[in-house]
Chains A and B, each alone.
Chain A
């Protein structure tokens, strides 16, 4: 008979090994899935994980890694702060949309003036948009004890409708021949989040993501607030005795994750996406949840996990066009990854004991 025994200390080795094992397990079962869809599993896996990095057209795909990875990392860093403390913001997708809308609106308001101050103003507005959207569940939780999971998620649907309204109404391109969507910010120099080094994929969002990783690392390891976050997650009662103010922590964690998600949205809409359209958001806010867990809620882990997840997006696109693998298969693949991760995580906190357990 097998039973579980709680480890006195979480195993560090397993904590590090779990994501790797989860990725391998996902590759294996994902391969089975691809085979079931009538594709050669080995070719599919190679297309997804190898070709974007080292294949024939890798020079084209490698910058994409930064472009797709940056929003994921930015959002996931913010989410991880809350997740660590047991504060669940799962509405990052909505905050991402609002950040993009606020930022783009500021930029479009100045059109066609050119000034170096426009882009920084847009960044501020984007951060503010995400922050204010996250403050709704935060304030409701602090003031009324409302469940932040449900409120933040409901606000995603509200934000999506708001986006639709904006791209068909207020922010619509007046010279767009009636097509929905705003002016293209890529053609508006002062508002364009261009590559810092041409063709490298390194835009300001990538820089912001790296800064976020570093700041989050410092916050969690060196700062009192980071300590408060960790204690609250592991032992909420002990946290209160050690003088942590739970309300302020909720406001900080939700606000911070909203702010970062808003930034991610702004950098996306002013750079790679270029314009506000009805469906410019592609679910980064939800995928970032997987990234946060895959990265073990650790800033460096999240950086790696974000790049890996970006790889599955890019590889998925290639597999879609070259092998005809449906886009949904990649979504299933990403979902599987989270499953294996959560399941294998058991070994971090528990160990298996074989032999007969005595009756309690």
Chain B
């Protein structure tokens, strides 16, 4: 075993990359849950985004177009969930599971001819001299635009929820859909938009895995990141900044176990690979006692009984 093989600077830069898919998927789901809907289909939307983004990036040669396609793909798939839960008033847990099962199948169908291909690379932003600062430079200023976008997205969601009227309406719908409906807000429309936003974010998160983090396409490559994102929303108590912190924590653990595998630690690879999931459970247990932060209407079906 050789721990000195782990370069701390590269490690930190690496965990920022590992955290980004989680940030996108979780911040999207946070908005969805704030609107009072529980979409368990994050994993399905991520994997669909991963293949949509990959395919378009390969076909057009433009990774950025790939990310746009991933957002569109994720949002389209989430429309299915919106239709089931908002129009036909189906159970949200079951509908979310359906979305995940369907998304996993759909993605491997779409991805058949893309196995083993290398996608075009999205270049890092050129910060000029900033990237040459020792330690901080390689950690903070050697990434692609999507990574920074993830950070900005968290800030934007936080600001919109806290300071704007749109955010207030969204939270009102999530806390009490009946009251919001009585005030004349279009509950179904607002929730559908929130669900689509969540789908688009999950799609981008998935594409970040297939286009940047890995980068290639394999079936089921999201490997539970969507589910960890769901857990992240719970233990962030539906707060954007805590979510960011949590995502970095998990990015760190993922990166650490990969580095330890590479460094040849005496722990078998399988046990290292299960650690992110075990730690998710442990953190969920520690932080799940406080349920007061959950939106009051979360998971409940809304039916305007006019």
Interface residues of A (CB under 8 A from B): 3-4, 6, 88, 90, 136, 140, 144-147, 149-151, 153-155, 157-158, 161-162, 164-165, 168-169, 286, 289-290, 293, 326-336, 338-339, 342-346, 349-350, 357-360
A126 → chain B closest CB, angstroms? 21
B68 → chain A closest CB, angstroms? 24
Evaluate contact between B101 and A335: CB separation under 8 angstroms: yes
Q: How far is the CA of A90 from the CA of B99 in the complex (A)?
A: 14
Evaluate contact between B288 and A161: CB separation under 8 angstroms: no
Q: Which 5 pairs of residues, A with B, have the shortest CB-CB distance?
A: A331-B105, A335-B102, A165-B270, A328-B108, A328-B109
Tell me how many residues of B have a C-beta within 8 Å of chain A.
Answer: 48
Task: Give 1 or 0 for each of B56-99: 1 = CB within 8 Å of chain A CB.
Answer: 00000000000000000000000010011000111101110110
Evaluate contact between B93 and A149: CB separation under 8 angstroms: yes
Evaluate contact between B277 and A158: CB separation under 8 angstroms: yes
Q: How far is the CA of A358 from the CA of B303 in the complex (A)?
A: 16
Q: How far is the CA of A162 from the CA of B234 in the complex (A)?
A: 26
Evaluate contact between A146 and B106: CB separation under 8 angstroms: no
Contacts of A6 in B (CB 8 A): 303, 305
Evaluate contact between B101 and A357: CB separation under 8 angstroms: no
Contact pick for B274, options A140, A144, A157, CB 8 Å: A157
Q: How far is the CA of A278 from the CA of B262 in the complex (A)?
A: 21
A129 → chain B closest CB, angstroms? 17
Contacts of A155 in B (CB 8 A): 277, 281
Evaluate contact between A289 and B288: CB separation under 8 angstroms: no
Evaluate contact between B285 and A144: CB separation under 8 angstroms: yes
Evaluate contact between A290 and B101: CB separation under 8 angstroms: yes
* Known contacts A146-B284, A165-B268: A332-B102 contact under CB 8 Å: yes
A191 → chain B closest CB, angstroms? 25
Q: How far is the CA of A290 from the CA of B95 in the complex (A)?
A: 11
Stretch of B11-19, B153-161, B223-231, B243-251 that contacts chain A: B223-231
Evaluate contact between B101 and A161: CB separation under 8 angstroms: no
Evaluate contact between B88 and A346: CB separation under 8 angstroms: yes
Contacts of B94 in A (CB 8 A): 293, 338, 342
Evaluate contact between A145 and B284: CB separation under 8 angstroms: no
Evaluate contact between A147 and B284: CB separation under 8 angstroms: yes
Evaluate contact between B288 and A146: CB separation under 8 angstroms: yes
Q: How far is the CA of A329 from the CA of B228 in the complex (A)?
A: 27
Look across to chain A and name the residue whose beta carbon is closest to the beta carbon of B232.
A150
Contacts of A144 in B (CB 8 A): 285, 288-289
Q: How far is the CA of A168 from the CA of B270 in the complex (A)?
A: 10
How would you classify the secondary structure of chain A's contact residues: helix, strand, loop or mixed? helix
* Known contacts A147-B284, A335-B102, A343-B90: A157-B83 contact under CB 8 Å: no
Evaluate contact between A161 and B270: CB separation under 8 angstroms: yes
* Known contacts A161-B273, A161-B274: A150-B227 contact under CB 8 Å: yes
A139 → chain B closest CB, angstroms? 10
Contacts of A149 in B (CB 8 A): 40, 93
Evaluate contact between A140 and B303: CB separation under 8 angstroms: no
Evaluate contact between A289 and B271: CB separation under 8 angstroms: no
Q: How far is the CA of A227 from the CA of B64 in the complex (A)?
A: 55
Contact pick for A153, options B103, B224, B268, B289, CB 8 Å: B224
Contacts of B126 in A (CB 8 A): none
Contact pick for A150, options B89, B90, B231, CB 8 Å: B231
Evaluate contact between B98 and A157: CB separation under 8 angstroms: no
Look across to chain B and name the residue whose beta carbon is closest to the beta carbon of A329.
B109
Evaluate contact between A286 and B281: CB separation under 8 angstroms: no
Q: How far is the CA of A162 from the CA of B273 in the complex (A)?
A: 10
Evaluate contact between B285 and A343: CB separation under 8 angstroms: no
Contact pick for B281, options A3, A140, A329, CB 8 Å: A140
Tell me if B306 counts as interface (CB < 8 A to partner A). yes
Contact pick for B102, options A140, A162, A339, CB 8 Å: A339
Contact pick for B306, options A164, A328, A350, A357, CB 8 Å: A357
Contacts of B303 in A (CB 8 A): 4, 6, 350
Contacts of A350 in B (CB 8 A): 89, 303
Contact pick for B88, options A158, A164, A168, A343, CB 8 Å: A343
Evaluate contact between A328 and B285: CB separation under 8 angstroms: no
Q: How far is the CA of A162 from the CA of B271 in the complex (A)?
A: 7
Tell me if B164 counts as interface (CB < 8 A to partner A). no
Query: What are 28 contact pairs spanning A and B, CB under 8 A?
Result: A90-B97, A140-B281, A147-B231, A147-B234, A150-B230, A151-B281, A151-B284, A154-B280, A155-B281, A157-B223, A157-B224, A161-B271, A168-B270, A328-B106, A329-B109, A331-B101, A332-B105, A332-B106, A334-B105, A335-B98, A335-B104, A342-B84, A342-B98, A344-B88, A346-B90, A349-B89, A357-B306, A358-B306
* Known contacts A3-B306, A342-B88, A346-B89: A169-B268 contact under CB 8 Å: yes
